[in-house]
């Protein structure tokens, strides 16, 4: 089953995570990135990396995201993503209306767990090898 992941921060580590998941053939689909840089700049930085060289696939900036090998990765520019999550959870625990913020909170939590799980499995596999 494919794990769908949202990456908070598409700097060097976020871009390398996407490259590593793609090159390892991991059953991981990056569906969203949250970064304050424009999708055009992120697409350029992914396509032309000064350390790892050119990306081995197609990278195109689009309105609202980046298309990587035909798959749209939605781009967000949320300055304080944790604040919305904490507020949604606080309202939920207090029995107050949450609205759609709970889905954003759940999405970020699941994304963080998936990334942590992926890295733990990679470390475990390397240890066995």
pLDDT over 70 percentage in the chain:
82
Digit-coded pLDDT (tens) for 22-44? 888 888 888 888 888 899 999 99
Q: Are 6 and 108 in contact (CB under 8 A)?
A: yes
Q: 61 pLDDT exceeds 90? A: yes
Summarize pLDDT for 73-103 with one digit per residue, the tens.
Answer: 988 887 776 676 667 667 766 777 666 555 6
Residue 118 has pLDDT above 90, yes or no: no
Mean pLDDT of 5-34: 88
Q: Locate the domains of the chain by residue range.
A: 3-128
Mean pLDDT of 112-118: 80
Phi-psi region of 69 (alpha: psi -120 to 50; beta: other; left: phi over 0): left
**For 3-128, CATH number?**
3.40.50.720
CA distance 101 to 86: 10
Query: What pairs with residue 29 in β-bridges?
Result: 4
What is residue 54's predicted lDDT score, i.e. its pLDDT?
A: 93
> What does pLDDT average to over the chain?
82
């Amino acid at each position: 089953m494919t794990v769908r992941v949202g990456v908070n921060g598409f700097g060097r580590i976020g871009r390398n995570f996407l490259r590593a998941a793609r090159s390892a053939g991991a059953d991981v689909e990056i569906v969203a990135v949250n970064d304050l840089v424009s999708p055009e700049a992120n697409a350029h930085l992914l396509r032309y990396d000064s350390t790892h060289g050119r990306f081995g696939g197609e990278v195109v900036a689009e309105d609202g995201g980046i298309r990587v090998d035909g798959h749209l990765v939605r781009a967000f520019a949320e300055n304080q993503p944790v604040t919305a999550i904490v507020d949604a959870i606080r309202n939920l625990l207090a029995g107050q209306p949450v609205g759609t913020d709970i889905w954003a909170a759940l999405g970020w939590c699941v994304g963080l767990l998936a990334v942590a799980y992926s890295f733990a499995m990679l470390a475990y596999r390397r240890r066995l090898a």
